[in-house]
Structure 1
Amino acid sequence: MIKLFKREKKKDVTLPTMIDKSFMMSMKPVRNPMIEWEKTAEGEIVIYLEKTPPKIIKKMASRKVAYKRIVLDAIGSFVWEMCDGKYTVNDIIKALMKKYKLRRLEAERSLLAFLRMLAQRKLIGLLPPKHITKSEG
């Protein structure tokens, strides 16, 4: 019997190590400087993401760059503005608790989920604490 499709052997996948909670809380979120955004008169943040058309369309037509708009609500805008590399995750949690009268667990879970989503879309990065050297991590 002839094999039409070869299966690739599964590579050994090493899962990333779990990040210690205290380490995560001391990280500083920072916005991607390549991302365009603006604050509206209403105080909402609008993030502009460049849409990348499929390769075949790119080759056929040279058109203007299209953008996808992401409009953040009040809490998302508040968090986005604090993602400037000055505040730690813990600082942002405390600010959310104070401004929006949230419990610690509620603020922590929703913030971490939001930061994870922003990081997956490459809108932010997380800077490690300064006292960690490259040889340790």
Structure 2
Amino acid sequence: MKRRKKSKREDIIAEWLQLYPIREFDSETDENGRVVVIVPRQENWLFRKILPKPNLPAGRVKLDEVGSFVWQCCDGEHTVANISKLLDEKFAERVKPADERTVVFLQQMYKEQFIKVYISRDNPPTVSE
């Protein structure tokens, strides 16, 4: 009997579960306990050369309850697998399958450069709170 080969998606999820995510931006908590990520505006290099430095306000990204919980766990101390387990314990049926949902959310955060991920916890930068 041949052993079933893992799909590429399962491999990616398994790899991500071993990583340590860490926040790149500051955040604050609103009156409902939800996290608001403060994203600095990026300036175009051409505008920097031509125009005086404008005072661009920072962008604000509001996370839902689940996203807020995951964001607060992205401290460089928890692996994605740990975060997924904590998420499953806290939100149970709302986040099934927890591993996949956690990985997809963190991949989006990584793509937008809200977080960095590390293979080991040995030398990640510390999060300033």
TM-score when normalising by structure 2 = 0.72
Bigger-Rg structure (1/2): 1
The structural deviation recorded for 1:55 is 4.3
Mapped to 1, the partners of 2:85 and 2:53 lie a distance apart of 48
Total equivalences in the alignment: 112
Q: Find the counterpart in structure 1 of residue 16 from structure 2.
A: 24
CA contact (8 A) 2:17 2:99 kept: no
Unaligned runs of 5+ in 2: 1-10, 123-129
Unaligned runs of 5+ in 1: 1-18, 132-137
| CA shift in 2, pair 1:51/1:20, >3 Å | closer
CA contact (8 A) 1:93 1:104 kept: no
Identical aligned pairs, as a percentage? Answer: 24
Mapped to 1, the partners of 2:42 and 2:110 lie a distance apart of 19
Q: 2:120 aligns with which of 93, 108, 129?
A: 129
Q: 1:43 aligns with which of 33, 52, 55?
A: 33
Mapped to 2, the partners of 1:114 and 1:20 lie a distance apart of 13
Structure 2 residue 53 is matched with structure 1 residue 78: no
Which secondary structure does the structure 2 equivalent of 1:26 belong to?
coil
Cα distance per residue 1:7-35 (max 9 Å; x no partner): xxxxxxxxxxxx66544312111112xx2
Over aligned residues, Cα RMSD in angstroms?
A: 2.5
How is 1:1-137 mapped onto 2 (pairs within 5 angstroms)? 21-32=13-24, 35-58=25-48, 59-102=50-93, 106-129=97-120
